[in-house]
Amino acid sequence: MPPGPIAETFRRKVLPATLWGVLVAGAFVMWRGMGPGLAVRGFAEAIPYQLSSVEPARVESLLVKLGDRVQQGQVVAILDARAIDGELRAAEAEKARVLAEIAKTEIETRATRVDSLRGIAGNRAEVERSLREAKTRLETARAELNAVKSELSRQRQNVKDGLMRASDLADLEIRRVALTRNVSEETAAVKVYEAQSVSASELGTTDEPSWVEAAVAPLYAELKVFEGQARSLEARRDQHILRAPADGQVSAVHGRADSTITPGLSFIEIMPDTSGRIMVCLTEEVHAPVGVGIAVTARPQSARDRELRGRAVSVGPVTELPSRCWREARTPMWGRLVTVELSPPTLIVPGESFEVRFEPDGG
């Protein structure tokens, strides 16, 4: 049966127009998919903190598990520090011993000073008397020596004039030598007594704090050594308490209680909360003119009705993209990583997925 006029009209006019419209719409969609406004994937930027130990240590307590939320400063694990505690107790015991010796020495020094002052008072009088006597003997010896020298000079002239023999001067020469030695000895004695007199005076005027300070100075030097050891041990012990460096979420735990941590290897990873940076995976087939400063809108995959705005702050070179950007787990993809900074800064969940659109000319 031949088709009716309506069917023929539809086949000849309406159907071609409809197909043409579909093709135009498809082309428009494809153009939108290859130009500005294209929706691409992005992830909240986050670099995990990796907690470890500075020396081999056994895990005494593990206080978090994978996925736990933590706050900055929160204790997440405690490592065995019994060996350090033993060294710390020994250092503290030495500090206590030295402090006790300091207290004892201060008491003994004050008592010794009192006795010394009493002795100094008596010694000073004795020293002054001896000094006076030594000066008197010295003056007498000098006077006698001068008299002998004068007599020797007179008699040498007599010998020269032939009035006396040279042998007659022997006794006077012996006397002169003896007196010269006596003057020298008395001069030395006077200097000794003068020094003792000055020392006695200085000791009598030295105040008590100076006496005590001089006596305990070596002990304080010893105390300083043990205090330094204690501070160093306390710092080592504090490193055996692992704390969260920032607010965030536990993203990995490489071990358990009673296991041993190897220095430098990550034991606990904490993904910090991030405030407004998204890493965008821009694959090779995307030809949108993306550059620094271009406007961006981002919608979290978990809340599609929430729209965030920002701008691209960096565009990386073409390279192999991170595996989370791949469409298939075993098929690597190449492209650029674009860093987007939200404005105003907004707290977003680390690693959260976003649908990102680059807006042409500020959008």
Strands annotated E in 165-286? 241-243, 248-253, 260-261, 268-272, 274-275, 277-283
In a 3-state reduction of DSSP, which class is residue 18?
helix
Q: What's the pLDDT at 20?
A: 56
Q: Tell me the C-alpha distance between 52 and 261, whole Å.
A: 7
The winner for highest mean pLDDT among 112-116, 133-137, 231-235, 331-335 is 231-235
Q: Quote the tokens at residue 143.
A: 């006077």
Question: Which is more confidently placed, 86 or 172?
Answer: 86
pLDDT band at 11; cut points 50, 70, 90: low
Q: Whose CA is closest to 54, among 316, 345, 267?
A: 267
What φ, ψ does residue 56 adopt, rounded to 5°? -55, 135
What φ, ψ does residue 51 adopt, rounded to 5°? -100, 135
Sign of the CA dihedral running 178, 183, 185, 186? positive
Give the model confidence (pLDDT) of 244-295 as tens digits.
988 888 888 998 999 998 898 889 998 887 667 888 988 876 655 678 888 9
Tell me if 197 sits within 8 A of 120, measured CB to CB: no
Burial class (CB in 10 A: 0-12, 13-18, 19+), 317: exposed
Give the model confidence (pLDDT) of 153-201 as tens digits.
888 887 777 777 777 777 778 888 888 888 888 888 788 777 777 766 6
In a 3-state reduction of DSSP, which class is residue 72?
coil
Instruction: With 0.85 as the threshold, say if the pTM is over it.
Output: no
Q: What's the pLDDT at 29?
A: 43
Q: Tell me the C-alpha distance between 152 and 160, whole Å.
A: 12
Question: Which is more confidently placed, 229 or 214?
Answer: 229
Q: What's the pLDDT at 58?
A: 93
